[in-house]
Amino acid sequence: MSVSGTFQMQYNNLAQRFDRGEGESALSSLQQLLRNNRSQALHVAQIKYLLALWHWEHNYFKKALRYIKQALIRLPQNQPQYVLALLLLGHIQNSLANYSAAIKAFWSALQIAIQDDNRKAIAQAYLGIGEYYLINNEAHRALNCQRNAYEIAKESNDERTLFKTILYLLQNLNNQSLNDEISPVLNDGWRLSKLIHIEQAWLSELQHHTGVHYLALGNIELAEEYLRLSLATNQQENLLWGQTQNRLALAKVLVQQGQLPQAAAMLESTILIASSFDQGYLQQIICQQLSDVRQQEGNYAAALAAHETYHQLAVDYQIKVKRSLKQLSNKQLIELDRRQELINYQQNQIQLQRKNEILQNQLNNACFDALTHCPNQRELKLNPPNAQWMYLFSIDNLASVNASAGFVAGDELLKDFSQQLRELSLQLNAKCYRWSGFQFMLLSNHAAPENLIDILNTHFSVCTAQLSLISLAYDATATHFNAQPCWHSPAGSDHAQS
């Protein structure tokens, strides 16, 4: 194996360990790999990217920024990892409250991804742009970006990217209490979690969103169960953002349980955790929630103090956001608005497509019998076949079966007979319809074969239904057929009649 091939194998093994949440134990091996490949710029860039990712996930943002910049300097723009490095740069800059630098990174990544038709990277870039809108208090626009990312990720055939978009989307849907939309997205997340390997941090986040959803639905017991499962993982992995989110939600659970002092204590300790990494965004949310809890306790002095802290944090945070976003040019802001209009158009198209699919399904259901799944008279009228000959079968003992054995037995008789009739339709080159409650019709382009009676006797020799058949030239305008039966099934008589 070549030197490059050996490196790639070692690097991929380490990357998989990071994905499995084993980054702490893999760090020393990664550092050794870096020392062994100092002279290979591309290899160094790949390692620096992985180091940046680990440090960002563990809240070492300044180190992460240094590593990702070193990676980008060495990565050629035509390398697939270049766009991934740009995306990571955007997330790191967001964590450092460098919001204009973050949106520029996401925007650059989006342009490259669109040019390369890289659906995975397009989806992730829209997630990053959505973060910009959240920071700028435009939750609706953020939600449009996240919905768009979710739909694009479905097309990417990359299940990890799809899972990531699900987590981002759930966060915003829960914040806006869009419960009807949350349930199918949650189900999609749990389905994927059973199909692919996901790291504990992602599973913990899915548990958190599930708990928050149950809390919104009023199921306090399940909400607490999922939130505490998530908190335990986040504490074990030392994931401070996740712990903060868990504790905010658990404080609401405690309020619902009437444990106001415990809820206040949890929020106060959460402020300390958030202050170690947060730029003010989370702390203002915590203080606002703490003020509400103190007010419910009747401790108005503490409520006022928490509210004043919230107000100061909110003002400082908005100043910080505006100062950062002023670095964006008018041209960039106009392009973002144009891109948002495009997303709105795409979302409207998706909604229209879904409505059309629902209407088409309703139409299909109206044209097919629900029990036997055979097309019915409505389908026959809407899409009349080019038929010459008709076979109209009647189940003569259906009423007596319903009366003596019940309608369940009657339904089973209908399903069994319709299956046998479909098999016969292949032999007679015909199409099968349910004509009425006890009648089925076969339509064929060909006249009845001379040995029709033998075919029927053989085919229905073990049929429990008592059948009679009218066979004649097909008249599309007829609604009733008064001709005499030309055949009775072996179960309906001692012998066939010609």
Q: Give every CB contact of residue 403 below 8 A, 6+ residues apart in sequence.
A: none
> What's the confidence (pLDDT) of residue 253?
95
What residues form DSSP beta bridges with 487?
469
Q: What is the pLDDT of residue 242?
A: 92
Contact 439, 398 (CB under 8 A): no
Distance CA 134, CA 141 (A): 8
Identify the CA nearest to 394 among candidates 475, 481, 497, 477: 481
Q: Is 374 helix (H, G, I), strand (E, B) or coil?
A: coil
List own/partner pairs for 293-299 with CB under 8 A and 24 or more apart.
Answer: 293/251, 293/255, 293/260, 293/263, 293/264, 293/267, 294/264, 296/255, 296/260, 297/260, 297/261, 297/264
pLDDT tens for the chain, 498 residues long, are 565 678 888 888 887 777 666 767 778 888 888 888 888 888 999 889 989 988 888 888 999 999 999 999 999 888 888 999 999 999 999 888 888 888 889 988 988 888 888 889 999 999 999 988 888 888 888 998 899 899 889 888 889 899 999 999 999 999 998 988 999 999 999 999 988 888 888 899 999 999 999 999 999 999 999 999 999 999 988 888 899 999 999 999 999 999 999 999 999 999 989 888 877 888 989 999 999 999 999 998 988 998 888 888 888 877 777 776 666 667 766 777 777 677 667 657 766 787 787 777 766 678 888 889 899 988 888 888 888 899 999 998 898 888 888 888 899 999 999 998 998 898 888 999 999 889 999 999 888 888 888 888 888 887 788 899 998 888 888 777 778 888 888 765 443 333
For residue 233, what pLDDT is reported? 92
What distance separates the 2 farthest-apart alpha carbons in the chain?
99
H or E segment to which residue 86 belongs: helix 80-95
The residue whose two tokens read 């002095």 is 301
Q: Phi-psi region for residue 12, left (φ > 0), alpha (ψ -120 to 50) or beta? A: alpha
* pLDDT for 52: 92
Dihedral through CA 124, CA 130, CA 132, CA 135, nearest 10? -130
CA 416 to chain centre: 38
Can you give the pLDDT at residue 21? 64
The pLDDT value given to residue 346? 66
What is the predicted pLDDT for the residue at 498? 36
The DSSP line for 476-497 is TT-S---PPPSEE-TTTSSS--
Q: Where are the alpha helices (DSSP H) in 157-280?
A: 159-175, 179-195, 200-217, 220-236, 240-256, 260-275
- Count of beta carbons in the 10 Å neighbourhood of residue 311: 14
pLDDT value at position 347? 59
CB 165 within 8 A of CB 127: yes
